[in-house]
Amino acid sequence: MRIEDRFSIAAPRDRVWQAIRSPVIVASCLPGCHDVEVISPTSYKAKISVQLGPIKADFAIDIDVISEIEFEEVRSRSRGEEGGRASSLSSENVLRLSALDAETTELHYSSDVAVVGRLGKFGLGVMKKKAESLGHDFAVAFRQKIEHAAVDK
């Protein structure tokens, strides 16, 4: 399943870059993420809860940054399992930043996601809609956090 979207943030690209490379900031904006552990500058562990219909799943996720071009692009790989291995997921992710002007940055993300197990039994349409909803919620929270940080300074 491919998930892709873009959104703009009223902040310069270097500030958005610093925030997107902070696992603590990203985790605080990610719906259902309730724990993040920095293993190294390019490896993280996270605990994420997802509700899909009547099923609530708690995943332990490993995230690895596989390459980056400073201020422009981050490529990462995520994989994890739900407790008891009822479901597992993996994703290949690309995040790109583009300066629209000196004070506005566009963030474009795409993920190729595979989900197997009990959550994988939901139809592609249901899974894609949930993933898009999570992406939208992240965009709103991330934009708010970064734009408000500019006002708070």
Residue range 126-139, pLDDT digits in tens: 888 888 899 999 99
Taking the C-alpha atoms of residue 21 and residue 24, their distance in angstroms, rounded to an integer, is: 9
Q: Residue 14's CB: how many other CB atoms inside 10 A?
A: 13
For the full predicted model, state whether its pTM sits above 0.85. yes
Report pLDDT digits (tens) over 49-102.
988 878 888 999 999 999 999 999 999 999 999 977 788 999 999 999 999 999
Residue written as token pair 């690309």: 94
SS3 120: helix
What is the chain's alpha carbon radius of gyration, rounded to the nearest angstrom?
15
C-alpha distance across the termini of the chain, in Å: 40
Q: Residue 11's CB: how many other CB atoms inside 10 A?
A: 20
